[in-house]
Amino acid sequence: MRDDSPNSWEARADASSFYGFTDLPSVHERGAVVLTHGEGPYVVDVHGKRYLDANSGLWNMVAGFDHPGMAAAAKAQYDRFPGYHAFFGRMSDQTVMLSEKLIEVSPFESAKVFYTNSGSEANDTMVKMLWFLSGAEGQPQRRKILTRKNAYHGVTVAASSMTGKPYNSVFGLPLDGFIHLSCPHYWREGQEGETEAAFTRRMAAELEETIAREGADTIAAFFAEPVMGAGGVIPPSAGYFQAIQPILKKHGIPLIADEVICGFGRTGAVWGCQSYDFMPDAIISSKCLTAGYFPMGAVILGPDLCERLDRAVEEIEEFPHGFTASGHPVGCAIALKAIDVILKGDDRNPPLIENVRALTPRFESHMARLAEHPNIGEARGKGLMGALEAVRDKATRTPFDGDLSVSERIANTCTDHGLICRPLGQAIVLCPPFIMTEAQMDEMFEKLESALGKVFAQIT
Ligand SMILES: *Cc1c(COP(=O)(O)O)cnc(C)c1O
């Protein structure tokens, strides 16, 4: 697999690139996969090997890797007006048009939009907006942020602090005042004999107790992904948002939906909050917002936060925050096209979200079939996102010994078979592009199933 000659792409990648979120033993043994281009849901490496990308790049390349309309929209805007900022009361026409479009497709009656270059920056921006509001409203102590264990909100300093994963301790994070509640994963966290309804009540009671302990007037917001993504594709327990939203409301704590993964169709609805029937106070968007064709994030403020922030900013006459490339005209033109491709379609192509809905039953039945394997403890998901959790013992839900690196082995075996999928803890994550055909979906599961069989035979 690995080409070790000094001028190989693998050696050049090693010598020049500081890897992030990469299992170094795997990359040392196998070499980095260096890619040149893509064809539909496939990517091709420097050796000409093709891989079906079951993870849509990193959740985002949902229109595939060679969508002609997306590239044309980018080219047209580069020719027309290749860059501008959104400071000092200036912005591009594309920026205004995208904001109007986002408001139109948002679940809010009225809204306003603020742009960033990434999901992490959108979360940090939201935190700064909330902290700004606390100060302006005479409640400077209202700064604590509630999230959940296993939540993933990004890697900038506030977003890392919000992320509920143990790896951030290597940075001395989280910062003080970022509080992580329990993960609402019934299969893993439910107690002996506890029903799912009782589990959900326990999650709600924990929230009540936390608010009482910390003081409602010290909490700026509760952030939640509708389905936790990078934490392992964890849908909430039944009734979770219906149980927690009234508690937050009662205490005047905004609920921010981090829709970076769920937004724009992944769960089958436009927004994850619609799949789970709750109304957030603001939405954080990125990833599918541009179908991965441009780095961009957005904070979409619902009516209440919008009105309060507008009022607070009027007082000091300026909101001192923004990125050089916020509202980039090319990014906005690409996002406008992506939203059309996903939600509207054209004469020849139905909207991709329809394909998500059409493919979901096939996805679910393949998942259910693989869940019957004695070493698959749980198959979970929503829409076109899913995870298969490997276990040594299904009845007791006992994981494999960590030293076996079971999910890395499965993912590496898949790579050998021409399938890219992602290990996460001891689970394998699938989040295929929305353009996938039924035949490609069957190919994805055939390759995965054969890799599972091979690896489980080696280690059990
Ligand atoms: C990916 C992700 C982020 C971070 O987005 P970046 O663009 O990588 O900064 C934030 N929240 C969620 C839910 C994500 O999946």
CA distances from 4 to 32, 219, 416 (A): 11, 53, 17
Question: 255 with 339, same domain?
Answer: yes
Percent of the chain with pLDDT over 90: 97
Q: Is the dihedral of CA 91, 95, 99, 101 positive or negative?
A: positive
Q: Candidates 21, 61, 153: which one to mutate for ligand 1, based on the most atoms within 8 Å of Cβ?
A: 153
Confidence of residue 288 (pLDDT cuts 50, 70, 90): very high
Question: 47 with 167, same domain?
Answer: no
What CATH number corresponds to the domain at position 367?
A: 3.90.1150.10
pLDDT at 206 over 70: yes
Average pLDDT over the chain reads 97
Answer yes or no: is 25 within a domain: no
Q: What's the pTM?
A: 0.98
Question: 156 with 231, same domain?
Answer: yes
Q: What is the 3-state secondary structure (H, E, C) of 341-373?
A: HHHHCCCCCCCHHHHHHHHHHHHHHHHHHHCCC
Which of 292, 319, 343 is the C-terminal boundary of a domain?
343
Answer yes or no: is 7 within a domain: no
Question: Mean pLDDT throughout 195-205?
Answer: 98
Atom in ligand 1 nearest the alpha carbon of residue 287: 7
Compute CA 407 distance to the chain's CA centroid, rounded to the nearest angstrom. Answer: 20
pLDDT at 344 over 70: yes
Question: Mean pLDDT throughout 365-387?
Answer: 97
Q: Which residue has the tokens 């998901």?
A: 381
Percent of the chain with pLDDT over 70: 100
Number of domains in the chain: 2
What CATH number corresponds to the domain at position 207?
A: 3.40.640.10
Question: 357 with 212, same domain?
Answer: no
User: DSSP per residue over 4-26, as a string?
Assistant: -STTSHHHHHHHH---SS--HHH
State the Cα–Cα distance between residues 77 and 329, nearest whole angstrom: 7
Amino acid at 427: A
Q: How much distance in Å is there from the Cα of 260 to the middle of ligand 1?
A: 6
Question: Mean pLDDT throughout 335-346?
Answer: 96
Q: Is the Cβ–Cβ distance between 282 and 304 less than 8 Å?
A: no
Atom in ligand 1 nearest the alpha carbon of residue 123: 10
Question: 241 with 387, same domain?
Answer: no
Render pLDDT for 39-91 as a digit per residue (tens, 0 to 9): 999 999 999 999 999 999 999 999 999 999 999 999 999 999 999 999 999 99
Answer yes or no: is 26 within a domain: no
pLDDT at 319 over 80: yes
| β pairing state of 422-424 and 427-430 | antiparallel
Answer yes or no: is 18 within a domain: no
Q: Does 372 or 460 have the greater pLDDT score?
A: 372
Answer yes or no: is 1 within a domain: no
| β pairing state of 50-53 and 112-116 | unpaired
412 within ligand 1 shell (Cβ under 6 A): no
Per-residue model confidence (pLDDT) at position 348:
86
Question: 271 with 122, same domain?
Answer: yes
Render pLDDT for 104-136 as a digit per residue (tens, 0 to 9): 999 999 999 999 999 999 999 999 999 999 999
Question: 368 with 428, same domain?
Answer: yes
Which of 308, 343, 378 is the C-terminal boundary of a domain?
343
State the Cα–Cα distance between residues 374 and 389, nearest whole angstrom: 11
Distant-in-sequence, close-in-space partners of 208: CB < 8 Å, separation ≥ 6: 247
Q: Candidates 120, 168, 223, 422: which one to mutate for ligand 1, based on the most atoms within 8 Å of Cβ?
A: 120
Answer yes or no: is 328 within a domain: yes
By residue range, what is the domain housing residue 175? Answer: 77-343
Q: What is the DSSP letter of 267?
A: T
Q: How much distance in Å is there from the Cα of 140 to the middle of ligand 1?
A: 28
Question: 389 with 338, same domain?
Answer: no
Answer yes or no: is 302 within a domain: yes
Answer yes or no: is 12 within a domain: no
Question: 56 with 92, same domain?
Answer: no
432 within ligand 1 shell (Cβ under 6 A): no
119 within ligand 1 shell (Cβ under 6 A): yes
Per-residue model confidence (pLDDT) at position 449:
97
Q: Does 25 or 64 have the greater pLDDT score?
A: 64
Which of 328, 343, 358 is the C-terminal boundary of a domain?
343
Q: Is the Cβ–Cβ distance between 260 and 119 less than 8 Å?
A: yes
Question: 195 with 263, same domain?
Answer: yes
pLDDT at 435 over 80: yes
Question: 373 with 446, same domain?
Answer: yes
